[in-house]
């Protein structure tokens, strides 16, 4: 029996999580499975209750689970807290404590949603199916940092730092993923400026020798930010650091025009994973029933696939989502169609599962 | 008599510089001015001749000039050199030695070129006129760095570092620029993660108090990468660090669909400035006469405006470029129209000046 720690979080987090769990139940029924699902406080909710974003109880539960399903965290209410007391600090601590160094963020254009993409249609002829593989537990997110008083004001610093082993393991994830896709890895760095990027490039180059069937090319991050817009269909797998991945995965997802649709998985070697929609907590629409639960529902599908090896069940969910879209059902963010609210969309997916 | 050091550089650099200088001569004739213009080796060309990208002679000339006009540097030929011997190292040393900390990169959609933008037309209704103000002589580009051998492989690091005074002076540039535009500054950082970003945000907040007429908002860099695509007309001035500015200015420029049109200026307090097209050296089209000289010609206009206060002359050039486009003349990169080669486009602008 797989154990799942569920962290609904803040804003629309609990609303979309509800629908994800609904679909998970439908899978339990269909496949006669039983998951051990329990909810724990996390993020702003946990700050309000316990003064910290990632309480011990939650941490213990996550560390003893096979997978963690997260809604979203953060909100204006907690914006003025100090760095290490904010919801985001909880998210970083969660990722680090689980050791989930490989963040997979697919940016896929669903053909029925082509019109929602901000790009001109001629750029979308060949579709858009990019997998961003972002290093998640290293780099400038976790390197030495500080703020010191100087003669005039302050000096503040953060350190981008990578070692060979960290780069090797994330590169392996990217090449393995590419083998199951279009066999192309674009490694993104700023090797014309950064020492850490030069080590990144050299190490990725080394790993690529183990994958003669995968084509590797290197791209500077500034150029990648352009190429994503200019010619997005040139990309298959984008492999990059924590910071660059944060920026480029958001850019890539926006190209699909429907970030409310996009799931993510963060993994380590033993298949334990953290699953979350890539969208934020959207406090402005919380409680209005407008949130799109599909990103969370598709995160559940990723969980079934990557952590539990339940490929058929995962495909059922993905197929159901496709059919719901093809039938013309939409949430508010997706534009024209038969508009459903959060719960109705969850129910509709359950119906097709 | 203003002294201008011209660094043609590599690839298409010398070709576009030729046209920029042609237009500068036309301005000399029209306004009975005389500029002291001399060319110096820089970048790959200088590496080939002297073994270094920024030779003493070039440096002395730049440091004693009122403005530096640069073509573009770099090319595959020099890609395998070590970090500090590459053309890019010369560019960094040039910026640092001149002390030009304020990089202004306008991303403007020329109405006749709307079709060249990758964005759907409905997103361009309100046009697109963004000024990215990028800090250029600090941050991770110049912070402490290194690569050290460890038990297994290497560890490499780079340091993002900012102090109050550096943030203050670039913020002032952004607010002053906003006063002459739509009076809106969006300061971009990653304050939910980085210490340096928190100092950035606090300092910008302080400076903004001196500019009650300018609206200030803060945005995380990942969100900005999305918002640029989702709703580009929300932006007026984007104020950001060296690294984030590198990425976001390239993304913004790509939205116009015509990066061959976009100039840049890098300034310090006393009006001395470095002017360059934002595009690269494009070795693949060097020698084919396909390069678009308009970005360099518009960089000359920025030089006249910012370093020499010759506003009328600057406007003449901008008007001429607009008229040339309206008359249907295009270079290869700009798509349909009466296609001109590099020299013909330079001549055409001279004709309209
Ligand atoms: C909320 C923030 C700390 C986080 C990150 O930067 O990693 C988010 O932007 C993401 O991409 O998951
Ligand atoms: C060539 C490179 C060093 C440079 C930079 O990163 O600053 C370029 O990308 C730019 O934006 O001017």
Which ligand 1 atom sits closest to the C-alpha of A264? 12
The answer to whether B158 contacts A158, with C-beta atoms less than 8 Å apart, is: no
Structure token pair of residue B65: 């000039």
Q: Is the CB of A125 under 6 A from ligand 2?
A: no
Region B237-258: mean pLDDT is: 96
pLDDT digits (tens, 9 = 90+) for A292-323: 999 999 999 999 999 999 999 999 999 999 99
Please, which pLDDT band fits residue B257 given cuts at 50, 70 and 90? confident
Please, which pLDDT band fits residue B82 given cuts at 50, 70 and 90? confident
The whole-chain average pLDDT of chain B stands at 96
Which of B119, B226, B253 faces A250 most closely, judged by CB atoms? Answer: B226
Domains A1-102+262-353 and A118-256 share a fold: yes
How many angstroms does the Cα of residue B320 sit away from the middle of ligand 2?
Answer: 29
Region B43-58: mean pLDDT is: 96
Region B269-283: mean pLDDT is: 95
Please, which pLDDT band fits residue B191 given cuts at 50, 70 and 90? very high
Examine the pLDDT at B65 and tell me if it is beyond 90: yes
CB crowding B201-217: b at 16 or more within 10 Å, else e: bbbbeebbeebeebebe
Which ligand 1 atom sits closest to the C-alpha of A91? 3
Q: Is B282 annotated as a binding residue?
A: yes
Examine the pLDDT at B84 and tell me if it is beyond 80: no
Which residue of B115, B120, B255, B259 to mutate against A (max A Cβ within 10 Å)? B120
Question: Can you give chain B as a three-state secondary structure string?
Answer: CCEEEEEEECCCHHHHHHHHHHHHHHHHHHHCCCCEEEECCCCHHHHHHHCCCCCHHHHHHHHCCCEEEEEECCCHHHCCCCHHHCHHHHHHHHHHHHCCCEEEEEEECCHHHHHHCCECHHHHCCCCEEEEEEECCCHHHCCCEEEEECCCCEEEEEEEEEEHHHHHHHHHHHHHHHHCCCCEEEEEECCCCCHHHHHHHHHHHHHHCCCCCCEEEEEEHHHHHHHHHHCHHHCCEEEECHHHHHHHHHHHHHHHCCHHHCEEEEECCCCCEEEEECCCCCHHHCCCCCCCCHHHHHHHHHHHHHCCCCHHHHHHHHHHHHHHHHCCEECHHHCCCEECCHHHHHHHHHHHC
Contacts of B247 in chain A (CB under 8 A): 221-222, 225, 244, 247
Q: Is A291 annotated as a binding residue?
A: yes
Examine the pLDDT at A81 and tell me if it is beyond 90: no
Whole-number pLDDT of residue B85: 83
The protein residue whose alpha carbon is closest to atom 1 in ligand 2 is B88
Q: Is the CB of B251 under 6 A from ligand 2?
A: no
CA B79 to chain CA mean position, Å:
22
Which of B92, B121, B147 faces A195 most closely, judged by CB atoms? Answer: B147
Share of chain B above pLDDT 90, in %: 90
The whole-chain average pLDDT of chain A stands at 96
pTM: 0.95
Which residue of A156, A165, A249, A264 to mutate against B (max B Cβ within 10 Å)? A156
Examine the pLDDT at B80 and tell me if it is beyond 90: no
Residues near ligand 1 (Cβ within 6 A):
A 88, 91, 246; B 192-193, 222
Task: Say which CATH class A1-102+262-353 falls into.
Answer: alpha beta
Examine the pLDDT at A42 and tell me if it is beyond 90: yes
Secondary structure of residue A218 in the 3-state scheme: strand
B183 catalytic? Reply is no
Examine the pLDDT at A74 and tell me if it is beyond 80: yes
Pick the CATH number of B1-100+262-353 from 3.40.50.300, 2.60.40.10, 3.30.200.20, 3.40.718.10: 3.40.718.10
pLDDT digits (tens, 9 = 90+) for A154-188: 999 999 999 999 999 999 999 999 999 999 999 99
Please, which pLDDT band fits residue B111 given cuts at 50, 70 and 90? confident
Q: Is B169 annotated as a binding residue?
A: no
pLDDT digits (tens, 9 = 90+) for B299-330: 999 999 999 999 999 999 999 999 999 999 99
| CA–CA separation, B13 and B35 (whole Å) | 21
Q: Which of B79, B84, B195, B222 is catalytic?
A: B222
Whole-number pLDDT of residue A82: 78
pLDDT digits (tens, 9 = 90+) for A280-299: 999 999 999 999 999 999 99
pLDDT digits (tens, 9 = 90+) for A223-269: 999 999 999 999 999 999 999 999 999 999 999 988 899 999 999 99
How many angstroms does the Cα of residue A283 sit away from the middle of ligand 1?
Answer: 16
Contacts of A120 in chain B (CB under 8 A): 117-121
Examine the pLDDT at A83 and tell me if it is beyond 80: no
A118-256: CATH topology is Isopropylmalate Dehydrogenase (3.40.718)
Each domain of chain B, given as residue ranges in start order, spans 1-100+262-353, 118-256
pLDDT digits (tens, 9 = 90+) for B198-240: 999 999 999 999 999 999 999 999 999 999 999 999 999 999 9
């Amino acid at each position: 029996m797989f154990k799942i720690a569920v962290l609904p979080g803040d804003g629309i987090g609990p609303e979309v999580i509800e629908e994800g769990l609904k679909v998970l139940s439908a899978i339990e029924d269909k496949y006669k499975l039983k998951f051990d699902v329990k909810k724990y406080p996390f993020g702003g909710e946990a700050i309000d209750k316990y003064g910290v974003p990632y309480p011990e109880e939650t941490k213990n539960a996550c560390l003893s689970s096979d997978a963690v399903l997260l809604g979203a965290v953060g909100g204006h209410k907690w914006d003025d807290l100090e760095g290490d007391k904010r919801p985001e600090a909880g998210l970083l601590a969660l990722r680090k404590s689980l050791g989930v160094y490989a963040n997979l963020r697919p940016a896929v254009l669903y053909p029925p949603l082509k019109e929602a993409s901000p790009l001109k249609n001629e750029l979308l002829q060949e579709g858009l199916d990019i997998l961003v593989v972002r290093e998640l537990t290293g780099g400038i997110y976790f390197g030495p940092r500080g703020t010191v008083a100087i003669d005039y004001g302050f000096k503040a610093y953060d350190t981008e730092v990578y070692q060979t082993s960290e780069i090797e393991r994330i590169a392996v994830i990217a090449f393995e993923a590419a083998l199951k896709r279009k066999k192309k890895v674009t490694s993104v760095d700023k090797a014309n400026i950064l020492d850490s990027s030069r080590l990144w490039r050299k190490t990725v180059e080394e790993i690529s020798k183990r994958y003669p069937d995968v084509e590797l090319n290197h791209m500077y991050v500034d150029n990648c930010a352009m190429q994503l817009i200019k010619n997005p269909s040139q990309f298959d797998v984008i492999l990059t650091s924590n910071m660059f991945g944060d920026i480029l995965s958001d850019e890539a997802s926006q190209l699909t025009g429907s970030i409310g649709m996009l799931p993510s998985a963060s993994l380590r070697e033993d298949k334990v994973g953290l699953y979350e929609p890539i969208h934020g907590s959207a406090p402005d629409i919380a409680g209005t029933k407008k949130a799109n639960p599909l990103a969370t529902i598709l995160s559940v599908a990723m969980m079934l696939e990557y952590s539990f090896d339940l490929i058929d069940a995962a495909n059922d969910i993905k197929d159901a989502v496709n059919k719901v879209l093809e039938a013309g059902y939409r949430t508010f963010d997706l534009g024209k169609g038969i508009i459903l609210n959060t719960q109705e969309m969850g129910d509709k997916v359950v119906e097709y599962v």
